Amino acid sequence: MDTLITEPHLDAPDDFYEALIDAHRDLGTAQSHELNAKLVLLLANHVGRLDVLRQALAAARASVLRQREGRTA
């Protein structure tokens, strides 16, 4: 079983973030959600390991729940 990499690992994180924002430019809300969903599925296919993808899903969900708890506290 591989382990999800959670430490910074991108060669150029700022460049990726800029490309991500550019990909969303001029899209409506529904189109932006569709782009995100398609991007997730493309990257999941690239990763190709269900165990790693489950770890990513759990980590992302836990992060969202922690943020929500922090806002209500």
The pLDDT assigned to 71 comes to 66
Question: Is 21 within the bounds of a domain?
Answer: no
Higher-pLDDT residue of 69 and 31 is 31
Is pLDDT of 72 > 60?
A: no
The model's pLDDT over 5-60, given as tens digits with 9 standing for 90+, comes to: 999 999 999 999 999 999 999 999 999 999 999 999 999 999 999 999 999 999 99
Q: What is the DSSP letter of 56?
A: H
Surface-to-core class of residue 25, CB atoms within 10 Å of its CB (0-12 exposed, 13-18 middle, 19+ buried)? exposed
| Domain around 65 | 43-73
Question: Is 2 within the bounds of a domain?
Answer: no
Question: Is 10 within the bounds of a domain?
Answer: no
Specify the length of the chain in residues.
73
SS3 (DSSP) at 68:
helix
Which amino acid, residue 26?
D
Question: Is 26 within the bounds of a domain?
Answer: no
Question: Is 4 within the bounds of a domain?
Answer: no
Domain count, the chain: 1
Note the pTM of the prediction, 2 decimals: 0.82
Distances (CA, A) of 19 to 10, 24, 59, 72: 13, 9, 24, 32
Is pLDDT of 73 > 50?
A: no
Question: Is 70 within the bounds of a domain?
Answer: yes
